[in-house]
Structure 1
Amino acid sequence: MTMAVDRPHPISLADGKEYVIGDAVEVLSSIDDADVICLDDAWSRPHRGGQFGVEYDTHPFDHEHNDSATSTKLVVDACMEALNPGGWLIADADDWLLPRLTSYLMDEYGDVNDDYGGGGYRKVGSVTYLSSDGTPDRSTPGMYGSTGGYSVVFGHKGETERRWSESVRQVVPRQREKFGWGSVKPIVPYKKWVSDILNPDDHLVVPCAGTAPAALGAEIAFGASIRYTCIDNEPDAYNAFRRRAREEGTVEADALNLPDLLS
């Protein structure tokens, strides 16, 4: 389904829960109480467009030398601004994005590993996919080794009192069902992370949400006692989220209002 979106279009899912169709930076600018942000940014390395099922709008890491209206830097800045002091940023990355994102966090917001104080970059984790025989997935091998998953960058806004012990390195079966969306990630890693970091009544924000595995993980972990805001500029992303919420057996979809979009 296509729908013209010239301003944010919020869809209420339940009390304190919504999926907003709109620009991530614009919507984030209206949020100032996020406790955790799970970001799967719509970055674009050179020649990425059209590969790996990527059919949504992408943008460069830095828009200084590009005509794009937004960039990963602007999205990250908007995320950090939206977080409460001590709030956590969990950001997916691949081999191209990882060094750029970690460097930017360290340069702009600090490197906690320097003296284990302050905020900014904290550590790198990962999600490793398993094939059906239990070995690391190699369904998309490259000429110089197969990644079999993706990296995840963890950071926080200033000093944090949100201490947690779940592993930042997760191993899960590859997500097979796409729910009509090109790029779909598993729920389990995000469920483990958000359930360990968040408390009841906290606010989770999921920019560039797609099928929003982090929000669905929070739904499974907390039910009615969690708030979340999903953001994506593609109406079809909401359609895929709606389908996933209904079809994932671990999600209590009856607790959510999942309306059709009006064209």
Structure 2
Amino acid sequence: MSTTPKKLKIASWNINSVRFRLELVERFLREEQPDVLCLQETKVINNDFPAGLFRQLGYNFHVIHGQPMHHGVAILSKVPIREDHAHDWQDNGEARHVGALLDCGIRIENVYIPAGGETPDLEANPKFRQKLAFLERMTRWSEKLRQPTVLLGDFNIAPLECDVWNHKALLDVVSHTPVEVDLLTALRQSHDWIDLGRQFVPAPEKLFTWWSYRARDWQASDRGRRLDHVWASPQIASAAKSHRVHRASRSWQKPSDHIPLITEFAF
């Protein structure tokens, strides 16, 4: 890798509408100063993306893949990025992935895996079937990867028993069913991805990134799930020096139901 930076700080956040929560994004960027911010569920077409604020804050490099009102992903960076691309792993035109290459030779792949609907039934729920197909297509892509890559975003799956507030209660709930966990495990094994969340916060410690809006007091009940992830290729995983979640942002005014993940690398 050429022109490798000494340090690289990457943040990932399902923002649940970037325009509605632009003040939260600005606050987060001013407080944390990541080099790269990856957003999911931006819910805006490319031409209406609020690029001006990011440029004011020093994020001059943008890779955006949006659509009206739903889904959408973006990579905003202070460091140069190029060779952007987008995969349609759901094969339906939805904006759920965008990737780019940093000048240092590291790829960033930002993904918003489908939630999968309410019922984990392939026949009764087409959305669940589409989610599983998305994961299978991602796995075929992952098997062929050769470049050092950071794969991150909202995976909409909590794989471990300690990744949910109650394992037994959620076994039949979409995001924690055995079939989803098995497919996510197959994806991870296809490239020997390192799950940086669990590298720095080993199981069985709780590590949640999402709390439902339905909870009256999300902190008191703490019925969370770890749906958001940062994975690294084996050749760069050792460069990761810290990984944490920004739990405080869940209590900000008009919050997303997800919180940011922050990973720092030193080369």
Question: What range is the shorter-chain TM-score in?
Answer: 0.3 to 0.5
Higher relative CO (Cα under 8 Å, sequence separation at least 6) belongs to 1
TM-score where L is the length of structure 1: 0.40
